[in-house]
Amino acid sequence: MKEVGIGKNKSIRINMTQQTYTTSYMAYTSVQEMPEHYQTLIEQAKIATNDSHAPYSNFKVGAAILLNNGTVIKGSNQENASYPIGFCAERTALSAAASLASYEKIKAIAITAKSANNPVLKPAAPCGICRQCIFEAENKHHQDIEVILTGESGEVFVFKSIKDLLPLHFDANFL
């Protein structure tokens, strides 16, 4: 219960409480100090940036998906002169994984970016649409997907599940 002022000497009582989200993740100071399997996947994401088509933003994003069977599937952002049509790297990689190995569960996705404008010195964060798509893949396979975020250099963040990056997620239970 909270007393809220609504004008001169007037107030009303409103039933509301303040809620807080907390997110927990691992932060490594650099790729080099991570366990080897992370380094390998991040390396694949970095290689994927070379396939990026980003003549408009000069922001090249790479994603590498690790499947349960050990296969790695890469994706990169593909821009278009009609800007809104462009694909993000994460969704390109997810589509490739769904097409090439639709029944194989996804263990992890590493995401990285490099830019011709400014060096990316902090972990590249997936956009909202990509978060929702990674969440859909978690639900499809009934398995959490580890999300590894890195820039050109500097810190690397590891989230156990995309849910940690997508509070109040929208899923089929609403439908």
Task: Give the relative orientation of helices 89-100 and 128-141 as an angle to the nearest 10 degrees.
Answer: 20
> How many residues form the binding site for ligand THU (CB under 6 A)?
13
Q: How far is the CB of 174 from ligand THU (least distance, A)?
A: 24
* 19/118 with CB nearer ligand THU: 118
Closest alpha carbon to 90 in 40, 145, 37, 139? 145
Catalytic residue among 90, 136, 146, 152: 90
Answer for which of 88, 108, 162, 165 binds ligand THU (CB under 6 A) is 88
Binding track, positions 62-81, relative to ligand THU; x by CB under 6 A: ---------------x-x--
86 binds ligand THU, rule: CB under 6 A = yes
For residues 39 and 28, the answer to whether their CB atoms sit within 8 Å is: no
Query: Cβ 114 to ligand THU, closest distance in Å?
Result: 11
Q: 41 to 60, contacts with ligand THU by CB under 6 A?
A: 54, 57, 59
Q: How big is the CA angle at 126 (ends 161 and 34), to the nearest 5 degrees?
A: 60
Point out which span in 10-18, 29-37, 82-90, 146-154 binds ligand THU (CB under 6 A). Answer: 82-90
Residues whose CB is less than 8 angstroms from the CB of residue 118 and which lie 6 or more positions away in sequence, other chains included: none
Q: Which two tokens stand for residue 167?
A: 């509070």
Q: Respond yes or no: is residue 90 known to be catalytic.
A: yes
Partnered with residue 11 across adjacent β-strands are 5
Helix/strand/coil for 7: strand
Q: Which residues are catalytic?
A: 90
